[in-house]
Structure 1
Amino acid sequence: MENTPQPVTNRMYIVPCMLTICSLFSGFYSIVSSFNGHFLAAAIAILVAAVFDGLDGRVARMTGSTSTFGMELDSLCDMVAFGVAPGVLAYLWALTPYGRYGWLAAFLYVAATALRLARFNAQAIENTRAAARSGHHDFTGLPCPAAAGMIATSVMFSTHVFKTTDTVQHITLLLLVYLLSYLMVSTHRYPSFKHMDIAREKRFQVFVGLILLLILMASEPPITLFAATLLYILSGPLIAARVRLRRKKPEPVNRIDLQ
Structure 2
Amino acid sequence: MARNALSGLDTEHMKAAADVAAPLTFIVPQTEKPALYSAAYTGGVPDFGFAVEDHDVLVADMRPHGATFTLDREGFALRTVPTQVADLYDDGAVEADYFDEVRNLLTQELGASHVAVFDATRRSDGGTGASNKDGNRGPASRIHVDYTAKSGPQRAKDVLGAKEFDRLLNSGARIVQVNVWRPIRGPVQRSPLALADATSIAPATMVATDQVFPDRVGEIYHLSYDKDQRWYYVPEMTRDEVLLIKGWDSLEDGRAQFTPHSAFPLPSQTDATPARESIEVRTFVVIE
The structure whose residues are more often helix, as a share, is: 1
Q: TM range, normalised to the smaller chain?
A: under 0.3
Q: Which has the larger radius of gyration?
A: 1
TM-score, normalised relative to structure 2: 0.26
Higher relative CO (Cα under 8 Å, sequence separation at least 6) belongs to: 2
| TM-score (structure 1 length as normaliser) | 0.28
